Each structure stands twice: as C-alpha cells, then as structure tokens.
Structure 1
Amino acid sequence: MRSGRIRLDRAVVQSFYDRMRVVAPAAYGAIERDRADDPGRAFAETACGRLAGSLDPAGLRALGMWAHHWCMRFYDDDTRVGVRLVREIAGRAGLGWTVDEVRWLLDQSYAAGPAAAHRFVLPRAAAAELPAGALSEGDDGPVEFPRLLAG
C-alpha cells in the first residue's frame, strides 16, 4: 500500500458521473424489477440482463461503474441483484476499460471499506484487461479526486 493518493483530473471524473447519469434511471429500474422477480432466473432473462445486452462496450462500462458505485454506497441494503450485475459485467472481456476508470473503481472500493465484501470484483476484472504496467505500483490504494455532483 502506498502513502500518497493519485489525483484524477476533475473533467475526467465529471465525465464518469455524466456517463453514469445516462444509464442510472434504466439501471435503477432494472435492479428494482429484478429485486421483485425470481432470483433464480437466468441473467439474460432478467431486466438487468436485457439492459446489459442492449449496451455497447462504453455503455456497459458506464453501467458497471454505476452498479459498482451503487453497490459500494448501499452495501448494507439488499444488493444481491446489483452484485449479480457487477459480477456479470466483470465476467465480460474486451470492454475497453481505461486506467482512469480502473483507478476510480479502486477508489470506490477502498472507500467502501471491508464491510462491502464484493468491492473488488469489478475493479480487479477491469484491471486485468489493462496492458501490463498500465497501473503503476502505487495504484493499489485510494485515488483522490474532487467530490462532484453524482445525481
């Protein structure tokens, strides 16, 4: 673990929130529908599965970032559906994750603390898609960025 924090550019972070805001209403609705539905249903047949299947890689990354952020903030609520969505997105290869996206995901994970058991599922999967050496040795800890409007 390192002692310093990496700062992400304000415009980059704001672009993450802007992209997440686009998918948030559909994602929230899909999660709520799936919470009330059969938990044993195949993912592709769920509202979250249909939403994920309708998105291009950039949209799927935004959905993953939103779901990850939502699960990390509300980990004490019933997030089984959200965690399933995060895991499904983490299992998809070739989404084109950027270094800054991975750093942001890691920061969200560290900020959630150890009570959020699934907090590293998506950032680790996303980091595995980056070229070797893309994350510096110091990228294993929280990222510092200004708090921007998320909603």
Structure 2
Amino acid sequence: MRSGRVRLDRTVVQGFYDRMRLVAPAAYGAIERDRADDPGRAFPETACGRLAGSLDAAGLRALGMWAHHWCVRFYDDDTRVGLRLVREIAGRTGLGWTVDEVRWMLDESYAAGAAAAHRFVLPRAAAAELPAGALSERRDGPAGDWWRQLAG
C-alpha cells in the first residue's frame, strides 16, 4: 500500500488474489461471451448473470473484486460488460463485505487514477454494507480526501 494508507496484511491480500484466481477464468469467459452478445439482454440471461447467479456470497464478492480490479486497471478496453457486472454486484446487498476487502478495492481505485471514472462504484456500495465507523481511522491518502470520494 502507498504511504499514508492503512496497510493490509500480506496474507490477507494473498487470500484475495487466491479467491479471485478461482473465479477469473469463468469471469473472463463470461465477459468475452457477453461482449459478443446482445448488449440489451437482461442481466440474468447473460453469461455474467448466469455466473453471478451460480455463486454464493463469498464467490460473488470474489467475482466483484476481480471485475473491479479488471475494470479499473483496464478501463481503456471495451469494459461495458465488465462495468455492468460491477454495477450489478454493487446493487446486491447482504454480501458480507469485510473492511479489508473494501480497503483493498479503495487502494485499487486510487491506483487506477481519475481516468477510471467508475473506480468507486463497488467500493462505495460495499462500504455502505459495513458497520458505521468501520473505515473511520483513515480519511486521507495520497489521492486527497478519499472519504469524500467514497461518499460520492
């Protein structure tokens, strides 16, 4: 993590990457199938929608984190399908987001920079699921007042 940020334990971060690696092949395949398909199709009828519907809360969080990572890192690609997936996951409640997951996504969002317009969609929704004050010990960072960014 960058200076001035809350550091996450390496084991925790490695656990995130391990979980994301489990869903990555299916997620990438679903995104590629949906890119070639009808963009107006209802989400549950898409490959991404079927994948999301097959996962439990932990799997859906891993899929969301992977899609968030992919979209904010590669925003210059055709990410409409990936962004739709992120928005759909962000719209789901009760997924059990952890403080560490939200912090990791925030760090990813800052690393992407301002050009990734949708970089706070999922972390903002996930943070709304956390108990009040869970992220309160750090309200600043190298990118400025991230608390204001997170609040919208």
Same fold? TM cut 0.5: yes
Q: Which residue of 2 aligns with 1:8?
A: 8
Q: Which residue of 2 aligns with 1:114?
A: 114
Matches within 5 A, 1:2-151: 4-139=4-139, 141=141
Structure 1 vs Structure 2 CA RMSD: 1.2
1:25 partner letter: P
> Could you tell me how far 1:5 is from its partner in structure 2?
1.4
Q: Distance in 2 between matches of 1:77 and 1:135?
A: 31
Deviations 1:24-48 (A, max 9, x none): 0000000000000000000000000
Identity of aligned residues (%): 90
* Structure 1, unaligned runs of 5 or more: 143-151
Kindly tell me: are residues 31 and 140 of structure 1, through their superposed partners in 2, closer, same or farther at Cα, counting changes over 3 Å?
Answer: farther
Q: Contact 1:24/1:63 (CA < 8 Å) preserved in 2?
A: yes
Secondary structure of the equivalent of 1:6?
A: coil
TM normalised by structure 1 equals 0.90
> Could you tell me how far 1:141 is from its partner in structure 2?
3.7
> Could you tell me how far 1:139 is from its partner in structure 2?
4.5
Q: Distance in 2 between matches of 1:140 and 1:18?
A: 29
Moved over 3 A (4+): 139-142
> Could you tell me how far 1:59 is from its partner in structure 2?
0.1
Alignment length (residue pairs): 140
Q: Distance in 2 between matches of 1:80 and 1:11?
A: 32
Higher relative contact order (CA 8 A, sep 6+): 1
* Structure 2, unaligned runs of 5 or more: 143-152
TM normalised by structure 2 equals 0.89
Q: Distance in 1 between matches of 2:139 and 2:100?
A: 10
Q: Contact 2:4/2:140 (CA < 8 Å) preserved in 1?
A: no
Q: Distance in 1 between matches of 2:14 and 2:111?
A: 18
